[in-house]
Structure 1
Amino acid sequence: MYGLIHSVKLSSDINMGNINRINESINESLQWCTDAKQFSSNVEERNLNDQRIRMDDNDVEGISENLKKRLLELLIVDLASLTDELLCEILSIHGKLPEDYRYLRDKVKLVSCSNDTKWAQKGVLELNALRNCIVHNEARWNDGAFNEINDLCNSGVLAQIGDPVALSYEDIFRYKRAVRTLLNQASQNGFI
């Protein structure tokens, strides 16, 4: 996470470097982790069509801003997915079957939290609602997330259903702290 944020910052500082070399960078990336094939995929391999990627120096500012936003969305989705997976492991350790708790929301609500860490449980439920907006509703507020966060927060949601979800990088660090606290509670206190 830190490396990705730093890379985007550096890239923005130098105006994306030489944007006309983006194809060269993508082609180079095809040589990274080449030993990762563990099965013969049904998806055919094709050479990269360099003509399909068109950018010029006039697009740099827009590309940079879009990259920052998309990276933040990716980090939110990734944090929620990792939390789900780690809660499955902790459930198993505590003798519960993860498949009995299909959704992250169900697992989070099951964690036995002390009163002074309920904020973390609510925070991870917020994270899950935001993840669902990003993944299932083009990063826009939907009824489910709107209602869930309205129920969790004292101030309610300031956005309207259909508005883009607005996130900051401060949010990812706050939710990361909530996840860490919740996982510690699950490990120490188990589940209800």
Structure 2
Amino acid sequence: MDWGRVNAWTTTLYTLIHSLRIAKAIEFGNMPSLPKSILEAGTWLEPEASYSSVLASEPFGRSAVKFRRNPNIHFEEVVRQVICMLVQDLVVIFDQMMDDILAARSETAGVFPQSKIEKLATHLDPKFEWAKQGCLELIAARNVLTHARGRWNKQSIAIISFVDPIPSVGDELIIGFPMLFRYRKAMRTFLNEVTP
């Protein structure tokens, strides 16, 4: 099992948490210097694109950018958006790793991640049921954040029918950084246990 992408995701998680803590501590520093930060970020990876993008001729960094919403005032919203992006990326990584395990087992499952979890869980020792359920929670959380504007819907609730009490349709989903660590633990445990 190649854990490289999970390890890179984890390093990104740590970096973002640390960066947000520092930015918050200095009240996001000299906010008018945002254009300079964006221009500098444009030099962090070379080339800008590894293919002949039609956008390559479009100017970069010449527009007058500024924080339209003060991140000091909207810090919680920034944190929620960062968590949402990390959850989405973690599910993509998890889904691809499950595809690899299914292929190694010469098995197939449906196209949705929850069907892959259910199929692979047939190889899971019952003492790791918590890991399976944690993975299903990750998938449900991603669905709510990505497709339901952060509100529980019937489809996502059905994925986590084992939770007690179960959320109601329309309830807001709130998850903080500690849940990212728990999702990652459930995912790693699940994948380790079902890998042939």
- TM-score range for the pair, normalised by the shorter chain length: 0.7 to 0.9
Q: How many residues align?
A: 181
Q: Could you tell me which amino acid in structure 2 is paired with residue 144 of structure 1?
A: Q
If the length of structure 1 is used for normalisation, what is the TM-score? 0.85
Matched, 1:10 2:15: no
Q: Moved runs in structure 1, 4+ residues, more than 4 A?
A: none
Question: Of 136, 143, 156, which residue of structure 2 is paired with 1:132?
Answer: 143
Cα displacement (A) at 1:23: 1.3
For residues 78-135 of structure 1, give each alpha carbon's deviation from its aligned partner in whole angstroms, at most 9, with x where no partner exists.
Answer: 11111101111111222235xx531111110111211100111111111101101111
Cα displacement (A) at 1:139: 2.1
Q: Could you tell me which amino acid in structure 2 is paired with residue 107 of structure 1?
A: K
* 1:22 matched residue in structure 2: 34
* 1:75 matched residue in structure 2: 86
If the length of structure 2 is used for normalisation, what is the TM-score? 0.83
> Quick check: 1:124–1:175 contact (8 Å CA) kept in 2?
yes
Matches within 5 A, 1:25-44: 25-35=37-47, 37-43=49-55
CA distance in 1, matches of 2:157, 2:56: 41
> Structure 2: any 5+ residue segments left out of the alignment?
1-12
Structure with the bigger RCO (C-alpha within 8 Å, sep 6+) is: 1
Q: Could you tell me which amino acid in structure 1 is paired with residue 25 of structure 2?
A: D
Task: Assess, with a 3 A threshold, how the Cα gap between structure 1 residues 45 and 126 changes in structure 2: closer, same or farther.
Answer: farther
Matches within 5 A, 1:34-183: 34-35=46-47, 37-43=49-55, 45-47=57-59, 48-51=61-64, 53-55=65-67, 59-97=70-108, 100-111=109-120, 112-149=123-160, 151-157=161-167, 160-183=168-191
> Quick check: 2:71–2:78 contact (8 Å CA) kept in 1?
no
Q: Could you tell me which amino acid in structure 1 is paired with residue 183 of structure 2?
A: Y
Structure number with the higher helix fraction is 1
> Structure 1: any 5+ residue segments left out of the alignment?
none
